[in-house]
Structure 1
Amino acid sequence: MKARLPSYAVLTLLVLFLVGPFFVIVAASFSAGSTLAFPPQGFSFKWVEKVFTVESFQASFALSMFLAIVATFAALVLGVPVSYALSRYRLPLAETVRTIVSSPIIVPGIVVGLALLRYLVVPFGMDITLSLFLAHTALVLPYAVRVVSASLENLRSDIEEAAVLLGSSRIGAFFRVVLPNIRGGILAAFILGFVTSFNQVPVSLFLTGPGVRTLPIDMLGYMERTYDPSVAALSALLAFMSIGIVFIAERFIGFSRYV
């Protein structure tokens, strides 16, 4: 037992290091004071209630939710065929293709955001929402390809070949056999992409403009103007939302098997 004490101590310190800031933010969000501080000054729900009355938060939340859903869906529409081709066929330069597809998460987000601003928005005057959609789709695509590819690797190819031998077309076998068997991986990729897109900061920071801001960027701007606990309250709500999504996904599809 004594030999395990150092391990337990290190584990306890690690857990405190990881979850400590989260508890600080949650505690600060229920403060009765007028400034963001810890320990909290009393207890009140007024800052949680205020979050739902700030119009900019409502608009930016709607935009972030729209981008997260639509961009992740678009990434899956592109990523599933790419994953299938990489998993089922011996393509030339397959590893190069994987590297290119993964580049949005390998290259720093600030570099990606600046590049998209310089080569999409500035010369062509592209609509801000459209540029955000394209950027978020590119950022989510690597997760879609990797998660769906892992799911396809675990699916025996002879099942699909059996469907073809029994008279199904290759496309028919894909929709009737492959897709139903990798739906867990597709759903896991969607959840991972949704959370990634919703919480995206570096790229969105370069591409947002007047009146068009994602929620994380709006929160940064709000903190520059007002330093009250409402930002902590909103942060706590978003953290609980993300934790709830991942918990439900783990409960029903075994999220940890795919990521």
Structure 2
Amino acid sequence: MARTTNWVVLGLTLTFLIGPFIIIIFAGASAGESLAFPPAGLSLKWYAKVFTVESFRQSFMLSMFLAVFGTLAALLIGVPAAYALNRYKLPGDETIRTIVAAPIIVPGIIVGLALLRYLVVPLDFTVTMALFFAHTALVLPYAVRVVSSSLHNLRADMEEAAVLLGCSRLQAFTKVVLPNIRGGVLAAFILGFVTSFNQVPVSLFLSGPGVRTLPIDMLAYMEITYDPSVAALSALLAFMSLAIVFAAERLLGFSRYV
């Protein structure tokens, strides 16, 4: 009886988690002209149409730019910050960790509104600059936390041995510390990339005319067109995210860092 109950609970959990994914796959493969599930028939024409919509192509390139370069900028800040928090006893270090984690804790709508009111409007940032700054700030906590986890598992005496053998602190960091935490840095990049690419609440506040990330462009597209192409694009993005995470798990052991 207990075993049957466990299988039922497992099946319901998987249905809850995978169900929406299956729905968008088949809704995007509908042969009809409107978004519906179950579809009246099956066709790949909406998956093909995704690549012909100009706004999707432009917003995809912007999302890729923000995800790649925003994450790299976050790592440039986050790796030294994680190193300082792990290797030195700083006054108020727990408070610093809480502040760094604030973009994760605070709802995205509040973060977006605050950035719009106190950064974009007073400083007259362009839409692209505002989005880049916001995505970097949102990814930064993940960079610090994941890299901190790698540094925590790295023996500090390895670095001290390099210093005793004649390396400067910078040389010890670049030749000993960084090569040993490269898995964590790559894991932080992948996590930041996926988080930035799929970001909605903050991007919703900071997007402007003609400059929108892909998720925001999809929302705008659905306001005027209710065809299955949005479901097809959603399925493609879900496959892309799954492929990235799966590859990271196979190559890096992604689950060890997050």
Q: TM-score range by the shorter chain?
A: over 0.9
The corresponding residue for 1:242 is 241
State how 1:93-132 maps to structure 2 within 5 Å: 93-132=92-131
Separation in 1 of the partners of 2:124 and 2:39?
46
The corresponding residue for 1:215 is 214
Where has structure 1 moved over 4 Å in runs of 4 or more?
A: none
Separation in 2 of the partners of 1:211 and 1:226?
18
Which amino acid letter does the alignment assign opposite residue 166 of structure 2?
A: G
Separation in 1 of the partners of 2:135 and 2:256?
25
Provide, for residues 70-114 of structure 1, a one-character-per-residue CA deviation record: whole Å limited to 9, x for no partner: 000000000000000000111110000000100011111000000
The corresponding residue for 1:47 is 46
Separation in 1 of the partners of 2:7 and 2:233?
33
Residues paired across the two proteins, number: 258
The corresponding residue for 2:145 is 146
Could you tell me how far 1:4 is from its partner in structure 2?
A: 1.3
Separation in 2 of the partners of 1:151 and 1:8?
36
State how 1:5-154 maps to structure 2 within 5 Å: 5-154=4-153
Separation in 1 of the partners of 2:245 and 2:171?
32
Separation in 2 of the partners of 1:3 and 1:110?
43
Provide, for residues 138-162 of structure 1, a one-character-per-residue CA deviation record: whole Å limited to 9, x for no partner: 0000000000000000001011111
Could you tell me how far 1:193 is from its partner in structure 2?
A: 0.1
Which amino acid letter does the alignment assign opposite residue 63 of structure 1?
A: L
Could you tell me how far 1:8 is from its partner in structure 2?
A: 1.4
The more displaced of 119-128 and 69-78 is 119-128
TM norm structure 1: 0.99
The more displaced of 74-83 and 3-12 is 3-12
1:159 aligns to 2:124 (yes or no): no
SS at match of 1:33: coil
The corresponding residue for 2:226 is 227
SS at match of 2:101: helix
Separation in 2 of the partners of 1:204 and 1:129?
10
The corresponding residue for 1:178 is 177
Separation in 2 of the partners of 1:35 and 1:122?
39
Could you tell me how far 1:3 is from its partner in structure 2?
A: 2.3
SS at match of 2:100: helix
Which amino acid letter does the alignment assign opposite residue 80 of structure 1?
A: V
Could you tell me how far 1:5 is from its partner in structure 2?
A: 1.2
Provide, for residues 150-205 of structure 1, a one-character-per-residue CA deviation record: whole Å limited to 9, x for no partner: 00000010111111111111110000000000000000000000000000000000
Q: Name structure 1 gaps, 5 residues minimum.
A: none
Provide, for residues 102-139 of structure 1, a one-character-per-residue CA deviation record: whole Å limited to 9, x for no partner: 00111110000001111112222211100000000000
Separation in 2 of the partners of 1:208 and 1:226?
20
Provide, for residues 47-91 of structure 1, a one-character-per-residue CA deviation record: whole Å limited to 9, x for no partner: 000000000000000000000000000000000000000001111
Which amino acid letter does the alignment assign opposite residue 74 of structure 1?
A: A
TM norm structure 2: 0.99
SS at match of 2:37: coil
Provide, for residues 8-56 of structure 1, a one-character-per-residue CA deviation record: whole Å limited to 9, x for no partner: 1111101100110000000111100000000011111110000000000
Which amino acid letter does the alignment assign opposite residue 6 of structure 2?
A: S
